Amino acid sequence: MADTITYLTTTRFGAGAVELLPQELAELGIGKPLLVTDPGIARLPLLDRVRRMLPAEHALFTETPGNPTEAAVDKAFEVFRQGACDGLVALGGGSAMDLAKAVALRATHAGQLAEYALIEGGAGRIGPVAPLVAIPTTAGTGSEVGRGALITLRDGRKLALISGHLIPARAICDPELTLGLPPLLTAATGMDALTHCIETFLSPRYNPPADAIALDGAARAMTFLPRAVADGGDREARAEMMMAALEGGLTFQKGLGAVHGLSHALGAIPDPVLHHGTLNAVILPAVLRFNAPAAAAKYPRLALAMGLAAEADLAAAIENLNVRLGLPGSLRQMGVTEAHRDRAVAGALADHSTASNARPVTRSDYEALFDAAMG
């Protein structure tokens, strides 16, 4: 039976919660939804299961790329427009949910997506958007309750669209949808959730409720991520990781940091295609070492929440966790080269996450962080 959580938006959480989709669509008045998903989900029986719950008149977009692009948003919006849709359902990971948010914005706002990017002063231009129901199939991004969408524009910049209006009208979090997720994807998405909790807790912005949620999410992720990776059918671990991801998304209100500044910039590189959660896992130790002098009072609290000794070396603990989970130990192992350095640093400096890092970050700081993460 699903529990109902009302915090920023309404979330239906629990095994079997996906069966509530028809009820949620009816309550939101969505009669012709566009279902947004990705090619991987399109090959699974889950897609047909969800489509059977939708109204007979609905549209489908299955071409969400691993890192959502403006071109993909335009294609999905055209399907939305031609189908005379009045709302959206996002089924998948953060990419599908972010792309659906951008389509919801396009459906209700004129102009180009860049006009609504946070760093272009676009947050205040975003008003109510088409209603969206988000159904995550991974436990990582927290986008189902997040107010942002990361989109790579045609000019190559990966920019954030951020507004309370972009928070999905409903989130349906059914841990059973993550059962059997491959170990490496479980690890990468789980480290995304853990990084969200760590970075938001360390953000210097004042938000004690977000801090408390971040600590709880970090505790869940540190405890249950190794179990979820070791046994894809561990229902308790899957439920706890989905909650950790949800909590990571709830803390976004406080801002992220330099890990995401670099991972967003590297995620915009067309070749190689880099997974966001894996990037976060690899970059996190270097940023933890960099931030330590500015957050000395917070590190013991974070360590204790994560089940470590108060004086533990957090960066070393994350490096050890990455090894246990089978994740890469460096950006170099992911295919990043020194040729990507200037673009990554420039993108990170312009990224919205940099402003809320625990410690101010300069160009030379980002260069050193890139070099450290390269290994």
- Whether the per-residue pLDDT at 2 is higher than 90: the answer is no
In the predicted model, what is the mean pLDDT of the chain?
A: 95
Nearest to 371 by CA among 244, 286, 268: 286
User: Are 320 and 201 within one domain?
Assistant: yes
Cβ contacts of 35 within 8 Å, gap of 6 or more: 50, 51, 54, 58, 59, 60, 61, 88, 89, 91
Cα-only R_g, the chain: 19
- Reported as a single tens digit per residue, the pLDDT across 254-289 is 999 999 999 999 998 889 989 999 999 999 999 999
pLDDT digits (tens, 9 = 90+) for 70-88: 999 999 999 999 999 999 9
Q: Are residues 163 and 188 in the same domain?
A: no
How far apart are alpha carbons 238 and 230 in whole angstroms? 11
Q: Do 154 and 284 belong together in one domain?
A: no
* pLDDT cut 70: percent of the chain above it: 99
Domain end (from 155, 177, 199): 177
Same domain, 255 and 215: yes
- Shared domain check, 196 and 112: no
209 prior amide bond cis, ω within 30: no
**Boundary (domain end) residue, out of 124, 149, 177:** 177
Q: Which domain holds residue 291?
A: 181-374
1 within a domain of the structure (yes/no) = no
Q: How far apart are CA 27 and CA 186, in angstroms?
A: 32
pLDDT in tens, 161-199: 999 999 999 999 999 999 989 999 999 999 999 999 999
Structural domains of the chain, count: 2
The pLDDT score that the predictor gives to residue 94 is 92
Residue 341 contacts residue 266 (beta carbons within 8 Å): no
Please state the φ and ψ torsions of residue 133, each to the nearest 5 degrees: -110, 120
Is 350 inside any structural domain?
yes
Assess if residue 234 is contained within a domain. Answer: yes
Amino acid (one-letter) located at 243: M
Q: Averaged over 320-347, what is the pLDDT? A: 97
Whether 156 and 193 map to the same domain: the answer is no
Percent of the chain exceeding pLDDT 90 equals: 89
Residue 156 — pLDDT band, cuts 50, 70, 90?
A: confident
Output the six-digit token pair for 272.
């190689």
- Are 225 and 290 in a shared domain? yes
On whether both 98 and 208 belong to a single domain, the answer is no
Domain identity same for 135 and 63: yes
Residue 160: predicted pLDDT = 87
Query: CA distances (Å), 154 to each of 45, 71, 72, 269, in order?
Result: 33, 7, 10, 12
pLDDT digits (tens, 9 = 90+) for 4-53: 766 789 999 999 999 999 999 999 999 999 999 999 999 999 999 999 99
Q: Do 138 and 221 belong to one domain? A: no
User: Domain containing 69 — which CATH number?
Assistant: 3.40.50.1970
Confidence of residue 66 (pLDDT cuts 50, 70, 90): confident
CATH number, domain containing residue 306: 1.20.1090.10
In a domain, 3, yes or no: no
Whether 19 and 168 map to the same domain: the answer is yes
Kindly report the number of other CB atoms within 10 A of residue 358's CB atom.
23
Give residue 158's pLDDT: 84
pLDDT of amino acid 177: 96
Which among 146, 177, 208 is the end of a domain? 177
Pair (172, 185) in one structural domain = no
